Amino acid sequence: MRVTFLGTGTSHGVPMIGCQCAVCASTDRRDKRWRPSIYIEAPNGAKLLVDTGPDLRAQALAFGVARVDAILYTHGHADHVVGLDEVRRFNAIQSGTIPCYGDERTLDEIRGMFSYIFGPNTPKGGGIPDITLTTIDGPFEAAGAAITPVPVYHGDRIVLGFRVGAVAYLTDCSRIPAKSWGLLEGVDVVVLDALRERPHPTHFSLTEAVAAAERIGARQTFFTHIAHDLGHERTCAKLPASMALAYDGLVVDL
């Protein structure tokens, strides 16, 4: 299995517009962060995209994403869904509909945000994405790959992480509820939200993310949804050997 990090930044991305801090001005490519997303090449060969952020077109071109068999949605915030219109290019390449999966609230938000896709009078064709929306509330299959949703708190809202085999991806997470810890047992690689050093009401701080990673006990932990507060080299130098900030374009093979 292979996981490619398409984006590891916050909703603003890094560098932020109008900011000249040390990280935003950094020449280290690992400090350039598109909005958060990953691309999973599952053991059965399925190509799974997690979220369709506003940078999807640039991410696909930069990292060679030419096929998407299914899309998994963590939640309906703009930095995770507003690139949905780019999916029509994959429809054209593949000559087929792409199934999308998320919880009920997320899919309702997508229907509202992209009403032109779902309107009964909207002409079908190459001008709009050709997708189906399927509500999930437990383990399911996407393109033949077994997926386990992992509910987590994003502030007061429950959003979804996903486990595929020995990999778990938990972005936009401020707390892991009791029932979800068991879903993470035995993971080899875990990806966790780690926004910044200071506490935040809807995201793990770096300290909180490290504590969660230690409890999960994966062989390797990567942190994502990273703000401009955390420089890659400086932050990684003080993390445990089994933990690191992810970066755009990072490829993890299992």
Q: What is the CATH number of the domain that holds 80?
A: 3.60.15.10
Lowest mean pLDDT among 81-95, 108-122, 205-219: 108-122
How much of the chain, in percent, has pLDDT values that exceed 90? 96
d(CA 65, CA 108): 27
Q: What is the pLDDT of residues 142-155, one digit of tens each?
A: 999 999 999 999 99
How much of the chain, in percent, has pLDDT values that exceed 70? 99
Closest CA to 189 of 153, 215, 225, 165: 165
Mean pLDDT computed over 53-67: 98
The distance from CA 230 to its chain's CA centroid, rounded to whole angstroms, is 19
Residue 126's pLDDT band, with cuts at 50, 70 and 90, is low
Q: What is the pLDDT of residues 206-236, one digit of tens each?
A: 999 999 999 999 999 999 999 999 999 999 9
d(CA 97, CA 157): 30
Could you tell me if 232 and 249 are in contact, meaning their C-beta atoms sit under 8 angstroms apart? Answer: no
d(CA 35, CA 37): 7
Amino acid in the structure at residue 7: G
Please work out, in degrees rounded to the nearest 5, the angle formed at the alpha carbon of residue 15 by the alpha carbons of 14 and 20. 140
Specify the pLDDT at position 151.
98
Residue 131, domain extent:
2-253
pLDDT at 123 over 80: no
Who has greater pLDDT, 101 or 127? 101
Specify the pLDDT at position 103.
98
pLDDT at 16 over 70: yes
Specify the pLDDT at position 28.
98
| Report field, pTM of the whole predicted structure over 0.95 | yes
Q: 35-56 burial, b for 16+ CB within 10 Å, e for fewer?
A: bbbbbbbbeeebbbbbbbbbbb
SS3 track for 169-232: EECCCCECCHHHHHHHCCCCEEEEECCCCCCCCCCCCHHHHHHHHHHHCCCEEEEECECCCCCH
Average pLDDT of the chain to the nearest whole number: 97
Q: What is the pLDDT of residues 23-57, one digit of tens each?
A: 999 999 999 999 999 999 999 999 999 999 999 99
Amino acid in the structure at residue 99: P
Specify the pLDDT at position 121.
76
Could you tell me if 246 and 222 are in contact, meaning their C-beta atoms sit under 8 angstroms apart? Answer: yes
Specify the pLDDT at position 119.
81
Mean pLDDT computed over 113-133: 86
Residue 120's pLDDT band, with cuts at 50, 70 and 90, is confident
pLDDT at 109 over 80: yes
Q: How many domains does the chain have?
A: 1
